[in-house]
Amino acid sequence: MESWGHYLLALLCAGVILLSAVWTREQQEAEKADQAALSDQGQRLTEAMQTPEPVSYARPAAGPVLRGYSEAPVFFPETGVWMAHTGLDFEASAGEAVYALADGTVVSCGEEIRINHGDGRESVYRGVRETKVRPGQRVRGGDEIGTAGAAIPFEGRGHVCVILRQEGAALEYAFYQRP
């Protein structure tokens, strides 16, 4: 009986080794499938996050840029508040013209003007006192859409703030000089 015990123990060890080999093989196959799925997901994310093609935008106001784009908090002396500034502030006195950045359709007019550019991009204009467009109206880049002079919450007067968004996220942008 004692010799049978050795055989039984050897058989049990062989079974454990066989089960370990099968389990390890299944784990390796599952890891390969996970790596393939992650690689595919990574490729889709990379494609989705591609930087949009550069686009030239019309200058929205004649004055110089007073405050640039910053995702980091900047100080607003008008109100003593620190916060991100996701647009560009252009010096603009009351009554000076405000221009559309690019071709698009006016979405709304009120405290701010919103223009949909039809490619997932939208421009928002704050500090516009008199609106010269209406919702649904098509505009071209450089068309006058209103005049400056309204106060901007947290920022005060004397400028126009223009924000450009891609699918809702603010973008930095460059513009060309109006002819």
- Listed range (34-48, 59-73, 108-122) with the worst mean pLDDT: 34-48
- pLDDT for position 177: 45
Domain 57-176, what fold? Answer: Glucose Permease (Domain IIA) (2.70.70)
* pLDDT at residue 1 is higher than 70: no
Could you read off the pLDDT of 71-112 as tens digits, one per residue?
A: 888 888 878 888 888 888 999 999 999 999 999 999 999 889
Gap between the Cα atoms of 144 and 61, Å rounded: 10
Would you kindly state where each structural domain of the chain is located, as residue ranges? Answer: 1-50, 57-176
Gap between the Cα atoms of 102 and 117, Å rounded: 7
- pLDDT for position 34: 65
Mean pLDDT, rounded, for 44-54? 57
- Listed range (3-12, 46-55, 146-155) with the worst mean pLDDT: 46-55
